[in-house]
Structure 1
Amino acid sequence: MPAVDPAPRDYGDELAVVTVTYSPGETLDAFLDSLKGATDRVLRVVLADNGSTDGAPERAAERAGVDLLRIGENVGYGTAANRGVAELGPEVGWVVVANPDLVWGEGSIDALLAAARRWPRAGALGPLIRQPDGFVYPSARLLPSLGRGAGHAVASRVWPGNPWTRQYRQSDEVVAERPAGWLSGSCLLLRRTAFDSVNGFDPRYFMYFEDVDLGDRLQRAGWLNVYVPTAEVVHTGGHSTTRADVSARMLAEHHRSAYRYLADRHRGVCWAPLRAALGLGLRVRAAAAVRRAAR
């Protein structure tokens, strides 16, 4: 895991948005158009581009206040987000890291900033996330444990309402502002001092679980992850991760990241048998998921 930075830096109070793009298509236009109503603040937007080929980031960069950071290859979500944040000057103390396939609710970023003032130890704040059909996505969850994780992994497909999944997703919690174990990385307001204190996203995660890992490390460093349902966004769906040529890789990557997260937290010789069992079980589950997706 990344080392903790012992010397926090002083930042100003300006706000910037970093979004990681990978051939985002028309979703990026909707993201930028709706962003105008999300806050009264003047924004700088950084597109951390992982090698798009559709021209959408280049077109978006013609807008005022939008900068294109060409990474040139797909380095993964967390690494690209880190590079985007590194482009920002010391005047920027608040950073929104978000997927480019979001539509922002009116005043949503201002609502997150208002909550940050109520929670001075909040390192990350996340909004209520709706799917296009209006369903509220469970974006504020408990951190995975071996018991919850195993129950969720084994039973979630055949028994969606099982107690392990419901507990992990906090399905029975009242929709209210509260601390959470971790928040969906599809939309986060980050206190830059907190983000720096844990050296950002762990670059070993190509995709998936980088947000779970960040939430855990922020908590260990004394920060809070705060769910703010008065701020709303709509997640229209991952344009770049639903194509047939990447779906199998993403399924495999999800399980690889799950193993990395759990193995990192169960180190040492005494946990070696557990790590071996986890690795085998997750490889079997990944192979089954890939076969189902190919049907």
Structure 2
Amino acid sequence: MTAPTPGPTPPAVRVVCVTFNPGPELDDFATSLRAGSSAEVELVLVDNGTEHERVDRVVQEHGAVLVRDGHNHGYGGAANRGSTGARQRWIVVANPDVVWHPGALDLLLEAGERHPEAGALGPTLLNTDGTRYPSSRAFPSLVQGVGHALLGKVWPGNPFTVRYRQDHQEPRGDEGPTGWLSGACLLLRREAFEQVEGFDEAYFMFFEDLDLAERLLAAGWSSIHVPAAVTTHVGGTSWRARPEAMIRAHHRSAALYLSRRYPAWYQAPVRLVLRVGLLARQTVELRAAHRELR
């Protein structure tokens, strides 16, 4: 593994991009990052995959630092390794399928200076059709989470999903605190990130961002949504390649999160019902994915 080597004067921000056999979206990420900030940026690519040609080329073309040890550490684990040794005040963790709009990272950094209480800041994430991706969400209650899980696919406009995803917010609404922010693109104050010891690597994929936000809040830090900073989230590149594996990973992480959320002995019936519900939901989604692959 080639570890990031800090220089005498570190760049203003380290951008950690976690990759797994990426396509051309990685080129778009690295190219758009140049327009995303006028500040000096250290780009670190953490390679979880087995196909290295594109990653190596982007490292060469964009002067990035490569972190690779031949293992797939999951999203949070890879982000932790890419952040190790950082001396910058700010660390960005992002998917390779994010495209930075001009000045977006500058706006995030400026918001971080305005909000000394912020441990994490997140931009507006747009889908490729220009609609808003729900990157700023409320912490889910039990009723809200169950309602979203059961109805989100068949009735996207149900009140549980709308409340959880905060779909009532305008894409360029007010800057301010929120429950949690999508890990697809996240600016982290290094002091806060290190205080909570980074992402919990028990979550291989999914829910690591929600868990991080809860631990930051418990440590006295806020999560701040910065709607003026805009990125586009291509989305689904990993899902399209491995839908069944991703569905299983999502539901494993959901089960882990919920078991930790309701740990008391008297909540055992709640945990059982939730696990049965997750298993049923996973079965339905796997069958749907199998039909689409035929």
Instruction: Calculate the TM-score normalised by the size of structure 2.
Output: 0.92
Aligned match of 1:82: 80
C-alpha contact 2:33 2:100 (8 A) present in aligned 1: yes
Contact 1:21 1:52 in 2 (8 A): no
Q: Which runs of 5+ in 2 are unaligned?
A: 1-9
Alignment of structure 1 residues 186-201 onto 2, 5 Å: 186-201=184-199
1:260 aligns with 2:256: yes
1:5 match: none
Cα distance, 1:228 vs structure 2: 0.3
Residues 24 and 200 (structure 1), Cα distance of their counterparts in 2 relative to 1, 3 Å cut: same
Is the contact made by 2:16 and 2:92 (CA closer than 8 Å) also made in structure 1?
yes
Q: Which residue in the other structure is 2:222 paired with? A: 224
Separation in 2, partners of 1:179, 1:262: 24
Give the C-alpha shift of residue 43 in structure 1. 1.1
Structure 2 CA distance, aligned partners of 1:269 and 1:201? Answer: 27
| Distance in structure 1 (CA, Å) of the matches to 2:69 and 2:239 | 18
8 A contact 1:51–1:71 mirrored in 2:
no
After TM superposition, the structure 1 = structure 2 runs for residues 15-30 of structure 1, keeping only pairs within 5 Å, are 15-30=13-28
Q: Tell me the distance in 1 between the aligned counterparts of 2:49 and 2:99.
A: 23
Work out whether residues 128 and 234 of structure 2, in 8 Å CA contact, stay in contact via their aligned partners in 1.
yes
One of 240, 254, 258 as aligned partner of 1:242? 240
Query: Using the alignment, how far apart are the partners of 1:228 and 1:112 within structure 2?
Result: 7
Pair 1:157-2:135 in alignment: no
The whole-number CA distance in structure 2 between the counterparts of 1:102 and 1:159 is 27
Q: Relative to 1, partners in 2 of residues 1:149 and 1:293: Cα closer, same or farther, differing over 3 Å?
A: same
The CA distance in 2 between the partners of 1:24 and 1:111, in whole Å, is 27
Percent sequence identity over aligned pairs: 47
Deviation at 1:51, TM superposition (A): 2.3
- 1:252·1:287 contact (CA, 8 Å) conserved in 2? no
1:65 alignment partner in structure 2: 63
Are the equivalent residues in 1 in contact too, given 2:105–2:229 (CA < 8 A)?
Answer: yes
Equivalences for 1:1-295 in 2 at 5 Å?
14-88=12-86, 90=87, 92-174=88-170, 175-243=173-241, 246-295=242-291
Q: What is the Cα deviation at residue 106 of structure 1? A: 0.4
Structure 1 residues 64 and 129, CA, compared in 2 at 3 Å: closer, same or farther? closer
Do the aligned partners of 1:25 and 1:54 also contact (CA within 8 Å) in 2? no
Q: Is the 8 A contact 2:11 2:41 kept in 1?
A: no
Partners of 1:48 and 1:71 within 8 A in 2 = no
Q: Which deviates the most, 262-271 or 133-142?
A: 262-271
Deviation at 1:276, TM superposition (A): 1.3
1:166-195 alpha-carbon deviations (Å, 9 max, x no partner): 100111134221211100000000000010
Partner SS state of residue 160, structure 2: helix
| Distance in 2 of aligned mates of 1:79 and 1:241 | 19
* Distance verdict in 2 for CA 1:158–1:237, change over 3 Å: closer
Cα deviation, residue 64, structure 1: 4.7
Q: Distance in 1 between matches of 2:54 and 2:120?
A: 29
Q: How many residues align?
A: 281
* RMSD, matched Cα: 1.5
Note closer, same or farther for the CA distance 1:13–1:58 as it changes in structure 2 (3 Å cut): closer
| Residue deviations 1:254-278 (CA, integer Å, cap 9, x gap) | 1111111111121121111211111
CA distance in 2, matches of 1:63, 1:155: 45
1:46-92, Cα deviation, whole Å (9 max, x unpaired): 1011023151111111135301111312221000000000142x3x1
What is the CA distance between 1:157 and its match in structure 2? 1.9
How far is 1:117 from its partner? Answer: 1.4
Between the aligned partners of 2:155 and 2:49, the Cα distance in structure 1 is 39
